[in-house]
């Protein structure tokens, strides 16, 4: 996704309303996927400015209000800024903007974290889940889950194949769907559940010296199965860097760190893995962005996720073993 320059009149109004000081530099951040972001350097500091594109204002306001309490609990989060009127969001024309302090660090690949750092990250996520349970409203221990159907996924994939000039990748996804068609997880009440970050991918993590020093982008904060956040985080973070395979040793280290903080059984983790793999096998939202919305910025993810799904399907037992790593 190409982030355009911020118009000068918008830049100046954001700086004035959020009391950021005199703007010395404004740079587009090109590493995002969904929202648009800019780095402001002013005579008062450095700030991250986000234009919302896919989250409701209420979700963002709730997340911004939570951050100071997470910081007080010792988590590496970016302090939010409020407008002169005390709002976490500023509306300009048809867009809303949020501002946070800038945190130094780099976005990691899984290989940037050694095994000890992977365990420390798991510990951090475990502590986060426990702290969110204390800071947020009471959450249900279980949530209903009804996985997508093969018929529904196939119908959408076939529709996109008809729209595609080069449908080879979609044809491959149809073949993968056929290969796992009999493995749909059952409708069930899934748990344990609680408040989660919701999107702990490399672009929402910052590291310095091989250790996590920033947890970013909290607007997907919601109640979910804990196992889903664990599995999703591991399978994204430890399969990046151009690899189609999961780094099983780092995954096991991450899970050990998490399980030292949060009681979750092998069966619950394997069930979460089965449901996550099924989501990858049946999801079509990336193709909808491409063919229904005309947005090509996520095309690379279609191929990457297809390659990873293929690898996971062939190494299912090894992934389950890594996810069942016991804490010491």
pLDDT at residue 316, as a whole number: 95
Domain with CATH 3.30.200.20 in the chain: 8-101
Domain with CATH 3.90.1200.10 in the chain: 110-323
Give the E-state strand segments of 52-131 in sequence order: 90-92, 95-101
The average pLDDT across 102-128 equals 95
pLDDT tens digits, 227-283: 999 999 999 999 965 568 999 999 999 999 999 999 999 999 999 999 999 999 999
pLDDT at residue 135, as a whole number: 98
Q: How far apart are CA 14 and CA 10, in angstroms?
A: 6
pLDDT at residue 71, as a whole number: 98
pTM (predicted TM-score): 0.94
pLDDT at residue 242, as a whole number: 57
The average pLDDT across 297-316 equals 91
* Positive/negative CA dihedral, 81, 87, 89, 94: negative
CATH of 8-101, one of 3.40.50.970, 3.40.50.300, 3.30.200.20, 3.40.50.920: 3.30.200.20
Q: What CATH fold (topology level) applies to the domain 110-323?
A: Aminoglycoside 3'-phosphotransferase; Chain: A, domain 2 (3.90.1200)
């Amino acid at each position: 996704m190409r982030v355009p320059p911020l118009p000068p009149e918008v830049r100046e109004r954001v700086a004035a309303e959020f009391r950021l000081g005199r703007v010395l530099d404004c740079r587009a951040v090109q590493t995002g996927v969904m929202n648009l972001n800019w780095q402001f350097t002013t005579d008062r500091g450095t700030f991250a400015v986000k234009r919302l594109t896919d989250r409701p204002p209420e979700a963002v306001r709730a997340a911004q209000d939570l951050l100071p309490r997470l910081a007080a609990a010792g988590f590496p989060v970016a302090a939010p800024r409020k407008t002169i009127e005390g709002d976490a969001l500023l509306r300009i024309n048809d867009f809303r903007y949020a501002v946070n302090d800038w945190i130094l660090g780099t976005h990691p690949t899984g290989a940037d974290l050694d095994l000890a750092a992977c365990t420390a990250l798991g510990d951090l996520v475990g502590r986060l889940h426990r702290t969110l349970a204390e800071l947020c409203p009471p959450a249900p221990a279980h949530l209903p889950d009804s996985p997508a159907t093969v018929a529904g996924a196939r119908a959408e994939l076939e529709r996109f194949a008809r729209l595609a000039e080069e449908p080879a990748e979609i044809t491959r996804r149809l073949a993968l769907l056929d290969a796992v068609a009999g493995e749909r997880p059952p409708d069930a009440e899934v748990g344990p559940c609680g408040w989660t970050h919701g999107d702990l991918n490399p672009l929402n993590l910052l590291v310095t010296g091989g250790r996590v020093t920033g947890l970013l982008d909290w607007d997907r904060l919601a109640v979910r199965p804990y196992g889903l956040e664990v599995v999703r985080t591991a399978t994204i973070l430890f399969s990046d860097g151009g690899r189609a395979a999961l780094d099983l040793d780092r995954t096991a280290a991450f899970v050990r760190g998490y399980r030292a903080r949060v009681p979750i059984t092998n069966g619950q983790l394997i069930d979460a893995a089965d449901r996550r793999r099924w989501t990858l096998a049946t999801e079509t939202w990336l193709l909808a962005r491409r063919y229904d919305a005309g947005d090509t910025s996520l095309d690379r993810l279609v191929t990457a996720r297809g390659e990873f799904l293929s690898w996971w399907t062939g190494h299912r037992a090894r992934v389950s073993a890594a996810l069942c790593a016991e804490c010491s």
